[in-house]
Every structure is written in structure tokens, then in C-alpha cells.
Amino acid sequence: MTDRPRMDPWRQLAARFRHGDITPIELRRVARAVDALPDDLHHIFCQCRFEGLSFAEIGEGLDISAEEARRKVAGIIALISHDTERQARAEARWRRLLSFWRWP
């Protein structure tokens, strides 16, 4: 068994979108979820994802350890990913229910 690194959740979302497994509205929900983060978490997330800073650099800027910065970013990603997947499942259930409805 080979140890392969897990794919970044954001790359997973992008891959799902390319393969038609995710809708554009789902991606917009992710973007809104990031925007709705409290200021300190939004700052951490943006530094990690868009500025390419390491966890050590982020932790140093916030006076926390690199491990704590990593846990915070991982928590943010898990929260957003879980919420997006839960919402997608709920929408799929409604679509299935409505597909049986025959309009007069």
C-alpha cells in the first residue's frame, strides 16, 4: 500500500466541478461561507490559501503555534466542506421528491 498525500479539499471541489459532480451554485455557497467567517478566521484562511504563507508564518502573525494555525485552517476547511456537502444532499433529496410531482 502506498502512502499518497490526500488531495486538498479545494482541489477536490474543483475536480468534482470539472467532472460534473458539483454545481456552480455549490461553489458559490463555498465562497459565501468563506466570506461569512469571523474576521480572525477569514484572515487566517486567506493568508493560507491565497498568500501562500506557511502555518508557521500565520501562527507567528497571530501569536499562536504553527500547529494551532494548522488546526484552525483544517477546521475552517472541514466546516465549509461539511456544510456544502450537507446542503447538496438536501437539495438532491428535494429534486428527487419534486421529480415525482406531476403538474396538471
- Look at residue 88 and tell me whether its pLDDT is greater than 80: no
DSSP H stretches of helix in the chain: 9-18, 24-35, 39-49, 55-62, 66-99
Under CATH, what is the fold of the domain 9-99? Arc Repressor Mutant, subunit A (1.10.10)
- Look at residue 1 and tell me whether its pLDDT is greater than 50: no
* pLDDT value, residue 71: 76
Please give the grid coordinates belonging to residue 95.
429534486
User: In sequence order, what are the residues at sequence separation of 6 or more whose Cβ sits closer than 8 angstroms to the Cβ of residue 100?
Assistant: none
CA distance readout (Å), 92 to 12, 26, 50, 100? 19, 12, 31, 13
- Look at residue 65 and tell me whether its pLDDT is greater than 80: yes
* pLDDT value, residue 67: 83
The rounded distance, in Å, linking the Cα atoms of 93 and 16 is 19
Q: What is the pLDDT of residues 22-63, one digit of tens each?
A: 565 665 666 566 566 666 666 666 655 555 667 777 677 767
* pLDDT value, residue 66: 80
More reliable by pLDDT, 93 or 66: 66
The rounded mean pLDDT for the chain is 64
Neighbours of 68 (CB within 10 A): 14
- Look at residue 104 and tell me whether its pLDDT is greater than 50: no
Give the residue among 45, 95, 47, 32 at the shortest CA–CA distance from 75. Answer: 45
Contact criterion met (CB below 8 Å) for 26 and 33 = no
